[in-house]
Amino acid sequence: MRETHYISTALLDLAILKDIVENDKELELSEEAVAKINKAHAYLQKKIKESDTPIYGINTGFGSLCDVEISEENLSQLQENLVMSHACGTGEFVPKNIVKLMLLLKIQSLSYGHSGVQLITVQRLVDFYNNDVLPVIYNQGSLGASGDLAPLAHLALPLLGMGEVYDGDAMVASEIVLKKHNWEPITLMAKEGLALLNGTQFMSAYGVHCLLKSYKLSYLADVIGALSVDAFDCNMSPFNALVHLVRPHRGQVKTAENIIEILTDSEIGASVNKKVQDPYSFRCIPQVHGASKDTLHFVHKTVKTEINSVTDNPNIFVGEDLIISGGNFHGQPLALAFDYLGIAMAELGNISERRTYQLVSGLRDLPAFLVKNPGLNSGFMIPQYTAASIVSQNKQLCTPASVDSIVSSNGQEDHVSMGANGATKLLRIVDNIETILAIELMNASQAIEFRRPKKTSPLLESLLESYRSTVPFVKEDRLLANDIHASVAFLQSFAIDGDLLF
């Protein structure tokens, strides 16, 4: 039987989301959430009946059409038209796990009681989530400003029996799946289309996914970096706590602690006759990895605030008897954070590739390209090429999205965040880091074998034993693309306790 997570005003954080996703928990609206949704909806309906004053998006057009008043009998059609007309996504399909996060985060935002939607609308989103009815969404079309309009329109279409959803791995018409579950299409009421489309849940879902993966890769970078430290027979003195306590950046101190802990009881690390100094890619692991950790901490704080916020428009304040049109849908905080995190994660790849380069260079009593009989065998020459290519691509992807803007909606939306583009390219950067680290793991594990009979630490020997069951030692040239793919899969399956991540 699946466990349940109750949607309420209690703050979401990454640990909670990780638990919901990994344990496949069902969602259920708490009594508090139901009461808030119903209260805001009843207030809005009463306000529409009693007031002749135009209220943006409720009885007016949208964007630059905000001065066009809409008659009461057309309010439902207005919202349905909004969803259909804004479903203009293109590009690649959004991964299903991110679509599921979008559903969760949209449900959370609507449940605060500042959006005026019907309870049945939110409940249907909960039903979609619990039954893996995941809308087909495209990753292009949002400017990250008036909310993630196009992606969220595709998220909303199946509520109306339109668009497509995933049925397992197949994409089918949503009306077929609605009939399968005996669900009637939702008839949207005033403001509901706008509440569904305004919001930053596309950007936020990418942000949550990338943060969870980045925390894991940050820890793996320490583990694999430590393996490379022993593989290159490095001096351990740069990781001494005294060095870092006189420059106590949080991430730097933590990284040095990690390296020392990971390499505890290493025979290689304890051996003498070390070089006086090592290349920066080894010696400065605490400083470089640590700076990326500090960036993760900053971005985590930004995303946590965002996922616990109301980001549609206008906002309904029942207690104050106010409906206010503002700009909480603007993605600037996320756009800046994504650009920052992309740069920080790219640096983990940059320094990783440099360690790989050193390992294949024929230095420190290691054979050239980490293979016996180099010349006859090319060994690990080309995996470093591959890593270098990916590192270079990441540098190109790190061009900030947030410094760009473009005028839309006939000049009404004259500054946009481009946070959606920042989000999608951040995912590409993070996925690239996984491959770069997998290539370093291949090289470091190969190099360690040339240090035998000396052993690395018990922790890393255990890691190597598990890894070697997937990727054996390379005695002579073979198809290394298979080893790269297997190494990536190994990292993806590698489970890490949440206490080590956040």
Distances (CA, A) of 462 to 163, 392, 467, 501: 49, 33, 9, 20
CA-to-CA distance for 306 and 478, rounded, in angstroms? 48
User: Catalytic: which of 43, 56, 206, 467?
Assistant: 56
Element (H, E) at 374: none
CA-to-CA distance for 312 and 26, rounded, in angstroms? 25
Beta strand 4-7 pairing with 26-29: parallel
- Mapped onto helix, strand or coil, the DSSP state of residue 139 is strand
User: Would you tell me how many other CB atoms lie within 10 Å of the CB of residue 404?
Assistant: 14
Supply the DSSP symbol for 12.
P
CA-to-CA distance for 314 and 473, rounded, in angstroms? 61
Kindly report the three-state secondary structure assignment for every residue of 273-318.
CCCCCCCHHHHCHHHHHHHHHHHHHHHHHHHHHHHCCCCCCCEEEC
Catalytic site residue 357?
A: no
Q: Is the CB of residue 268 less than 8 Å from the CB of residue 229?
A: no
What does the buried/exposed string (b/e) look like for 366-391 if buried means 16 or more CB atoms within 10 Å of the residue's CB?
A: bbbbbbeebeebebbbebbebbbebb
Q: Which residue numbers are catalytic? A: 56
